[in-house]
Chains A and B, each alone.
Chain A
Amino acid sequence: MKGTIENRDSFLRNIAKKLHHEPGENVALPEWNNQPQWDVYKGYSRDQLVEVMKKACESVHTRVYETDSEHLADCLEQVIVAYGAGSIVATNDKRFSDFGLESVLKKNQVYTWNISEGHKNIERAAQANIGLSICDIMLAESATAGLFHDKDKARSVSLLPVTSIVIVPESLIVPRITQAMQKVEEKVKAGEAISTYINFISGPSNSADIEMRLVVGVHGPVKVAYIIVRDK
């Protein structure tokens, strides 16, 4: 699989000329003098990071529930009811069964993303009241769920339904976006493929475009809830 590049040579030659150097120079990325990102919440324990995350949730209009692996199914059931149940879609993520959630999904007639069903998946998500996902990383500083989407962990699930419920394995909580970027960098350096759609989502969609008044719930979900699971 290879794409195309048009008009590049003259474009870059012009830039090199303006910058007074020869085209095709090789540049090494410098060691930056200023790297304040590593000092944010440095040395924080997991419990401290959970507290940071919970506090940040208040600013992003997101409710937090806490449980452990053993009680996750019950907790999820309660949260589903609290948000009005109804039609529910979930990503096709092996971790739902790892957490022993099949029975809750079955009981609530949750539709699990299935690529063989094609466009029907999107229709189901667009009609759904709740979308269920499990995050791939959680950024404590901003209460941000990092979702590394693929064909099964579909984008639509956390985007189209009215409510997005995200399960947050506690072991995936990191201080901030710095650690998420580091994770991606490590994959790149190891020559591994990265997700084609990495989404960092902090609460429900919102806008302050009308007289600077905050409206929560614009095009994406209107409500977001996190369930933190003490998993290790």
Chain B
Amino acid sequence: MSEVVKKFMYLNRKAPYGTIYAWEALEVVLIGAAFDQDVSVVFLDDGVYQLTKGQDTKGIGMKNFSPTYRTLGDYEVKKIYVDRASMEARGITQEDLVEIAWEDFETEEEIDNIVEVIDSARVSELMNDSDAIFSF
């Protein structure tokens, strides 16, 4: 295993259904989590819909994978950011988004919700800090 920890950013810009991007991105994040890198996941543009609560996919015959986002904490992916401007443009508030909890099994330290709403300047800053950006 390489000792060099890289900063990976996964950028989600598309609505959860209609294309396979959102689900594929989530799978890549969960699989990549095994490699112990410094991972952040950012939801931008229509990507903010991926985290909305109460998704119902019965009418479109697709698997509703929105509950899977709540496992990100279990997979030790702790940096989850949502772009505020994208939310505001779509009339979404943090109330509308799922909460993702994280717990340290050893110390029992717990965070109820690791989803963080950030402004565009912070998004740019995080992008600049990343070694690799995977855009979906």
The answer to whether A and B interact is no
B residues engaging A (CB < 8 A)?
Answer: none
A residues engaging B (CB < 8 A)?
Answer: none
